[in-house]
Amino acid sequence: MTSGQKSTLRVLCLHGYRQTGDSFREKTGAFRKLLKKKIEFVFMTSPLTVPSLEGSENGDGGSGWWFSRSDDYFRAQDESDCIKGFTESLAAIEKNFSEYGPFDGILGFSQGAAMLGLICGLQQQGKLNYSFKFAVFVSAFISRSIPHQHLYADKIMLPTLHVFGETDQVIEKSMSEEFLQYFHEPQIIVHPGGHFIPTTGTPKASYIQFTDKMIELCNEKNT
C-alpha cells in the first residue's frame, strides 16, 4: 500500500427502532470483531425518544428515526402521511458527520436501514451537505410514508450491500426484497435466520470481500 492510502474505513451506524447507539453497539459485537482490522464503527443515537411500551419496567423505550403517526408511534408496514421527527433526525446525522466525520460509509439496521435508504436518495439527488461512498443495509424496507416517496425517484448508484433473513418476523424478507429495486447492482446476502446481523458461514466471507472492495474504491477516489 502506497503512502497516503487507507487500510481501514470509518462507518457511521444507524440503529433500529427502540434501540440506541449503545444498545446497537452491544448487539454487533461479533460483527465488529470480524471486521475490527478493516472498519472503525461509530454509533450514534437518534434524537427521537420512543414512548415506553405499556407495562415496561425500566421506562426506556429507546429511540427512533421518525414516527408514522403523530402520537409518536411507528410501524414499518403502515402507509402514512406522517414523518414526524424525520427532519430532526436528518439534522442529527449531519451533525455527526460534521463533528465526528468524515465517514466512508453508513450502516443501517431495520428502521435505521430505511433511514439510510432515504439518505441515499437525498445524496443521489444532490441534497446533502456531506457525502459517503457506500451503504450497508440490514433488514431494510421502503418507507410507506407518502412524504418520503420522492426520495425513491432516482436509482441509487453508489455501492450497496443488503443483508436480510429468510425467517425475519419483524421486517419480512419480502419487504427487504422490495427495497432492492431502488439500487444499481446491489450486493445481496440472504441468511436463514431472523432480525439480526449474521456473522458465520457465507455472510462472513461476503462482508470481508465487500469491505476490501470498498477500501479499494475509497483509495481510488482519494487519488
- Which of 23, 72, 154, 195 is catalytic? The answer is 195
Distances (CA, A) of 127 to 118, 122, 140, 153, 220: 11, 5, 22, 13, 24
Active site residue 3: no
| Residue 22 annotated to the active site | no
Catalytic annotation on 104?
Answer: no
Specify the DSSP class assigned to residue 93.
H
Instruction: Select which of 80, 168, 176, 191 is catalytic.
Output: 168
Extract the C-alpha cell encoding 53: 411500551
Chain centroid, CA 146 distance in Å: 20
Name beta bridge partners: 161. 136, 187
- Residue among 80, 110, 139, 145 flagged as catalytic: 110
Indicate the pairing of strand 48-49 with strand 63-64: antiparallel
Question: Which residues are catalytically annotated?
Answer: 110, 168, 195
